[in-house]
Amino acid sequence: MEPQIEEIKKRIDIIEFLGNYISLKRTGRNFKGLCPFHNEKTASFVVSPERQIWHCFGSCGIGGDVISFLMKWENITFSEALTELAEKTGIKLKRVQFEDKEWQIKQRMIQLNSLTCDYFEYLLNNTDLGKRTREYLDLRKTDSKIAKKFHLGYAPSSWDSLLTFLKKKKYTVEEIYKAGLIVKNSKGNYYDRFRGRVMFPIRDARGNVIGFSGRLLDSDIKEAKYINTPETLLYHKRETLYGIDLAKEAIKKKENALLVEGEFDVISLHQYGIENAVAIKGSAVTKEQLLLLKRYTPRIILSLDADSAGEEAIKRGIEEGEDTELDISVVHFEGGKDPDEAVHTDLQAFKKNLEKTIPIFDFLINFFQKKYPDNTPFSKKKIGEEIIPFLSKVKNPIIQSYYMKRLAEILQVSEESISETLKKEKFRKKTKFLYIKKQNENIFDRVDILQKYLVSVMLQSDNAYDISEKIFTVLTPNDFIIRSLKKICEAFLKFKKTHSQKFDFNLFIHDLPQELRAMGEEVYLIGSSEWGFNMIKIDRLILEVKRYILKKRISELLEIENNSEKEKELLLAATALKEVEKKLSLG
């Protein structure tokens, strides 16, 4: 299996592959971009075309190859990623020689959910039991074609019909329970979670059924109108968008996504040709959902229900999307309480509203004016306090100036007072940022990073042996704090003796013991990350590390009881430190 894995990786150019997902720019011999796995403004994601590897030097701290990238991006297992890349490269995989238990469990659960989807869909379309649901869908003007496109179904009012069906299909009670399809009562008995409901299968972007949502048909029953699959191995509410599998191509084509609140909103919009619509799961927009959409478009249009809860959800969505660098706007619709009702009432009016989206800040001003309607100093103060934090994030000075002026007019105050409040807000954020930065500096110790950086510069250099002379004339492998880094330095010096003509990193990494290779790959890339060391001469950085090592050694010696050996070593260390300090002072 190992040769096949290597062959797959050889056939895929990592720059081209990752370039389909993120924007990369060349920096020296490597490429850099914003990490897709966390929010950041300074690029910390480094890719090596030579090594065909990537690493994030930001808060993620993760790295790997094309396989691990796809695993992380799609949230899939090694086996799933390998299978997909094998198909992409035209390599036919031999029988997998390793056991991927997580993949096996996920595949089994996907098959279980798919079978359940077929079961619900069959009951809706082919039995008398589904007649009432078909009538309900007709009442909601949902045609049969769109119902089949979304694979709508019916869960009967029985306590155990699904459980009985799945057991006959050789699924265990434990498997069905872990998929969230049945509930366990206080007596230890199991019953179907979804009963007497129209069923909406929830799929991921790849089309796998990961869960279900069920809407109650009988309004007289005192149960929640909608219930969803609980959190499972496959279904995570915060990361899920209903309809994403059917909408993603339209989103890319239209270069925007229409984000709505409910399943019927999505279905009705798709029925009328508005196929870039997806729905949030839960009561609020999450950062994870916005980042999922960011894969397909930088523009999001929020079209949530026309009530106070919908407006609050929009506000929370804007807060969640603060650092995603998405262009978020809001659309107001008429003729209904939600997009489902509005599009059925007047399709043309709805489409016209889509062309008249409201910029975020106009929506926020309107929202807070409604929230604090009184024309009193207190209400004006509250409106200002609510909007200023959003306004302080605007990078474009023209846009910021426009809304400062507008806000001043609305609040009937001077622009100077708005400007002063904005300055205070920015100062507050800057203070908070500096506090966080200081905490991070404690976590990522400067000397640790410096030592990694020095080794990285050496490994990446076309004159690796010349750089090593500079480093190891002043430092020894024992001076390196991280044990694995010390071993890499020892391995380098050993490699240098046997390969004296020219340094070859690929050959060097191959010769490293298996347990050191991951650190070797990471250290190789760290020199391309933004640490602020590239403007400092390498000789000075080496001396800075040596100064730290000598100070540390002197502190250790001072803790030891006095003896002749200690006094001798202390004198040598102090003399060496004085010499290092002198060289540093000379610049």
CATH number, domain of 300, equals 3.40.1360.10
Q: What pLDDT sits at residue 286? A: 86
Is 398 in the same domain as 458? no
Got the DSSP string for 443-509?
Answer: HS-HHHHHHHHHHHHHHH-TTHHHHHHHHHHH--GGG-SSHHHHHHHHHHHHHHHH--S---HHHHH
Same domain? 479 vs 557: yes
Residues 55 and 171 grouped into a single domain: no
Give me the CATH number covering residue 115: 3.90.980.10
| 555 and 505 assigned to the same domain | yes
Closest CA to 279 of 254, 310, 253, 325: 310
Q: Would residue 45 count as lying in a domain?
A: yes
Of the three residues 89, 114, 143, the one that is the final residue of a domain is: 89
Based on the domain organization, do 250 and 134 belong to the same domain?
no
Domain residue limits at 407: 366-428
Looking at the structure, do residues 219 and 156 belong to the same domain, yes or no? Answer: yes
Considering the domain boundaries, does residue 436 fall inside one? Answer: no
Query: Is the same domain home to 58 and 44?
Result: yes
Are 283 and 399 members of one domain? no
Claim to verify: residue 247 and residue 272 sit in the same structural domain: yes
CB 368 within 8 A of CB 387: yes
Q: Are 230 and 105 members of one domain?
A: yes
Question: Same domain for 32 and 75?
Answer: yes
- Report yes or no on 361 lying in a domain: no
Does residue 467 fall inside a structural domain? yes
94 domain-assigned:
no
Rounded distance between C-alpha atoms, residue 23 and residue 34, angstroms: 8
For residue 265, CA distances in Å to 235, 274, 485 come to 21, 11, 56
pLDDT tens by residue, 482-517: 899 999 999 999 999 999 888 999 899 989 998 898
SS3 23: coil
439 belongs to a structural domain: no
Q: Are residues 121 and 217 in the same domain?
A: yes
| Residue finishing a domain among 56, 89, 122 | 89
Instruction: Say what the pLDDT of residue 67 is.
Output: 93
As for how many domains the chain has, the answer is 5
Name the nearest CA neighbour of 521 among 431, 469, 459, 584: 459
Strand partners, 359: 329
SS (H, E, C) 252-264: HHHCCEEEECCHH
Q: Is residue 64, in this structure, part of any structural domain at all?
A: yes
Residue 441 resides in a domain: no
Residue after which a domain boundary falls, among 178, 208, 235: 235
Average pLDDT for runs of 10 along the chain of length 587: 81 91 87 86 88 87 91 84 88 66 86 98 96 96 96 96 97 96 94 97 94 90 90 93 96 94 95 96 83 89 71 70 77 86 93 89 86 88 86 79 90 88 72 45 65 91 91 93 92 92 89 89 79 69 91 84 80 90 82
Query: Which residues are CB-contacts of 535 (< 8 A; sequence separation ≥ 6)?
Result: none
Helix (H, G, I), strand (E, B) or coil at 184: strand
